[in-house]
Structures are given as C-alpha cells and as structure tokens.
Amino acid sequence: MVKRRFGVAIIGCGIISLEHVKAYQAFSEQCEIKAVCDLLPEKASKLANFIGGNVRVYTDFKEVISREDIDIVSICTPPFAHKEAVIAAFTAGKHVLCEKPLAASLADCDEMIEVATKNNRKLAVSFQYRYRQDFNKMKHILNRGSLERVTFGQLNGLYWRGKSYYEVDWRGKWNTECGGVTINHEIHMLDIFLWLMGEVESVSAEIETVLHDIEVEDVSMAVLRFSNGAIGQVNGTVSSVIGDVSMSISGENKGVSFPLKYHALIENDGGFPIQDQQGIEELEKVANEIEVGTSDHRGPVGDLLQAIISDEDPIVNGIEARKVIEVITAIYKSATQGKRVYLPIDKNDPWYSTTGLQRLVKKGKQNSLPTEQSG
C-alpha cells in the first residue's frame, strides 16, 4: 500500500510563504502542498501558480483547516494574526509550523502551547538559524564545555530599512507588528544568543524610535545577566547605515564568534594577550565534530515532519520559541520603566498579556522615564 503524503496548507501568501513552499517541495516524498490561503485572492493565486499541480486557493483559513486531507498548516500571516489561525488549526486537529514571532506576548504563547498539547498536535516555529551548521558548531563547543566558564557575550543585529518598508500596512504598529526591530529582526539572532548563553536572570534595556515615523522601536539595546554568572549585551536596529550581524562569546581564555571564528589566548608576563594557536585548533577540532546543517526553511519544515513521524517534539517547539518572547517582553518592560526587570515574568504581571504589554509599552518618540507603574 502506498503511504499517503502529508497534506500541507499555507496560510498567508506574502514574502515568507515562498520559503515555506520551497522547503515543503524539498520534502516532496513526505508531503504535498494542497491549499494556499490569503485574504487577497490574487496573492494566493500567484502562489498556487508557482506551486503548480492541484493546489486550491482560499481566502478564509477556516475553510482550509476544515479539509480532512490537510495535516500540516504553515502560518505565514503577520505577527498579530498568528494566534487565531494557530489555535483554530490545532482545534481542527492539524500540526502547525508558525512563523516567528510565535506571538505578541507570553500569554498568547502559553495559550497556543496549551491548545497544541491538549489536541496532541506538534507546534514548530520558524527559527531557521537554529539548524545552521555554523550556529550548531558554536552550540557544540559550548555543550562540550570547551570555553569553560562563559563570562561575556555580545550581539549586534544592525540593519537598515527605508521609509517604504514601513508603508506595508501591518508594519510599524504595536497592534499588528507587535513590536519593532527587537521582535521582528533581532529576534533570530537573539534566539541564537539565548540558546548559546543560557538562562537569563535579568534585563536592563532601552528602546527608541530614532529614524522612522513609526509607533514601534527602531533601536533596541539591552544588558542581560545570565544565571550562570555571564553578562551580555544585545543591540538591534533598523536605523544603522552600517550593517552588522555579529556575535561573540568569551570564556576565560577561549571564545567563538559569528561569522564563525575561533579564538584562544594566553597571557604574556605583563598580562597582555598572545594568540594561542593550539587552543584555536582544539576548538576547531571540536566544532568539526558537527558537519550537518541547513540555512533555510528546510530546517523547520524537516524538523516538523520528523517530529510528526517519530511522535516527538520539534527541536524548536513552542516552549523553545517562548524563551525569546520572555526576554523581549523584559526588554520592552525595562525600557519603558527605566529599571532592571527580573525573569520569569509572572502570569499576574500586566506585561504578561498582549493587552497589558501593548497598553503600557513606550510608543514612538515618547520619553522613557521611570514611572510608578505596577509590575
């Protein structure tokens, strides 16, 4: 008997949907795209034409998820629209691959995770960097303890976006983009940084809107204290003319950085550094124990397919994807209140919910002054 391939539907047929399509097509022995859906029928039709075959076009996602031959739904809608479609898909018995950010708040993440569990369905989130060879080499070095005690880390996610970028209706607004550069651009590198550095204890941050005429932040800077004693600094912006996407992690004498490079030092008599070639080679040797990896959406799609087949959790499941949302929530809270925020963020904290966060958060060019707000 020929085993049926998983039926796939794509909801939201904008920029990122094409990456999902290409990734599912790379796993064509296991799955087949059967439906595409967008509020704008011309966008759905365009994607259906690209895919070819018997792909049906929809404008209402509820019709798509009621189809029995759909097993997996990719949510490629703007951030504010993730939750409704994800919950409806789980309730209809589908597995879900949701685009980042999983949701606008911790409360929404928790609701999605809970509904997935209740319906015994898999939730994977598109953090495609998690499957890359370079980041997995860095993770392997840390897992093996090759840096010994991690002391300091630094992350830059410095980009530039022009005026017309924010003319897309959902961008630039708290209730639709659900935040600015922190939650939408820096999130990928921040997710990797947290994955490598470990559990965050506290966050001190600033956000600002320096260049664009938008409600959300276009600059974000934070100092993170980790429970292993390390300290880290993270910067994100869409207002930097000088682009820089980089990361460094230091142990006492050894370090790794992205773009991938290994570092090792010994000190001379005066305490100044001398390159330790043997130490660098040791790090390279450990890193080279990892040779696999993929840099595009084949990572999350393959992860979800494997999770369904083996009935295990995806590597980047809801709980993993929630971690970065907690730190981002703390960045917004700290920047608004002008004080350090300790994790975890409690369910009774007004910043836990989307309505609380979006009501309280500093918007646009408002001054960031310490206030007496509770929580």
Ligand X SMILES: NC(=O)c1ccc[n+]([C@@H]2O[C@H](COP(=O)([O-])OP(=O)(O)OC[C@H]3O[C@@H](n4cnc5c(N)ncnc54)[C@H](O)[C@@H]3O)[C@@H](O)[C@H]2O)c1
5, 16, 25, 340: which one contacts ligand X (CB under 6 A)?
A: 16
CB-nearest residue to ligand X: 14
Stretch that binds ligand X, among 8-16, 158-166, 254-262, 263-271 (CB under 6 A): 8-16
Binding residues among 328-367 for ligand X as defined by CB under 6 A: none
Nearer Cβ to ligand X, position 81 or 265? Answer: 81
Place of tokens 């993170």: 224
One symbol per residue from 25 to 64: x for binding ligand X (CB under 6 A), - otherwise; what is it? Answer: ------------xxxx--x-----------------x---
Closest by CA to 105, choosing from 350, 375, 372, 313, is 350
Sequence-separated (6 or more) residues with CB below 8 Å from residue 261: none
Nearer Cβ to ligand X, position 142 or 328? Answer: 328
Q: Is residue 184 a contact residue for ligand X (CB under 6 A)?
A: yes
Q: Is residue 126 a contact residue for ligand X (CB under 6 A)?
A: yes
Nearer Cβ to ligand X, position 36 or 113? Answer: 36
Nearer Cβ to ligand X, position 100 or 132? Answer: 100
Amino acid letter, residue 147: L
Nearer Cβ to ligand X, position 81 or 315? Answer: 81
7, 79, 180, 314: which one contacts ligand X (CB under 6 A)?
A: 79
- Residue 265 C-beta: closest distance to ligand X, Å: 35
Q: Quote the CA–CA distance of 150 and 256 in Å, as a whole number.
A: 11
Nearer Cβ to ligand X, position 104 or 221? Answer: 104
Q: Quote the CA–CA distance of 365 and 213 in Å, as a whole number.
A: 9
Stretch that binds ligand X, among 70-78, 256-264, 327-335, 344-352 (CB under 6 A): 70-78
74, 77, 136, 156: which one contacts ligand X (CB under 6 A)?
A: 77
Nearer Cβ to ligand X, position 18 or 265? Answer: 18
Q: Is residue 81 a contact residue for ligand X (CB under 6 A)?
A: yes
168, 210, 266, 309: which one contacts ligand X (CB under 6 A)?
A: 168
Sequence-separated (6 or more) residues with CB below 8 Å from residue 162: none
Sequence-separated (6 or more) residues with CB below 8 Å from residue 15: none
Count of residues of this chain found to bind ligand X when the rule CB under 6 A is applied: 23
With contact defined as beta carbons under 8 Å apart, do 300 and 126 qualify? Answer: yes
Nearer Cβ to ligand X, position 44 or 150? Answer: 44
7, 12, 172, 179: which one contacts ligand X (CB under 6 A)?
A: 12
Q: How far is CA 87 from CA 57, 103, 145, 357, in A?
A: 21, 12, 40, 21
Q: Quote the CA–CA distance of 74 and 24 in Å, as a whole number.
A: 10
SS (H, E, C) 256-317: EEECCEEEEEEECCCCCEEECHHHHHHHHHHHCCCCCCCCCCHHHHHHHHHHHHHCCCCCCC
Helix (H, G, I), strand (E, B) or coil at 49: helix
Q: Is residue 135 a contact residue for ligand X (CB under 6 A)?
A: no
Nearer Cβ to ligand X, position 79 or 153? Answer: 79
- Helices and strands counted in the chain (H then E): 12, 15
Q: How far is CA 353 from CA 111, 178, 208, 329, 358, in A?
A: 11, 12, 22, 10, 8
- Residue 342 C-beta: closest distance to ligand X, Å: 28
5, 14, 282, 286: which one contacts ligand X (CB under 6 A)?
A: 14
- Residue 20 C-beta: closest distance to ligand X, Å: 9
- Residue 99 C-beta: closest distance to ligand X, Å: 4
Stretch that binds ligand X, among 11-19, 157-165, 255-263, 325-333 (CB under 6 A): 11-19
Q: Quote the CA–CA distance of 53 and 231 in Å, as a whole number.
A: 52
Q: Is residue 108 a contact residue for ligand X (CB under 6 A)?
A: no
Give the chain's length.
Answer: 375
CB atoms within 10 A of CB 133: 15
Where on the chain is the footprint of ligand X (CB under 6 A)? Answer: 11-16, 37-40, 43, 61, 76-79, 81, 99-100, 126, 128, 168, 184
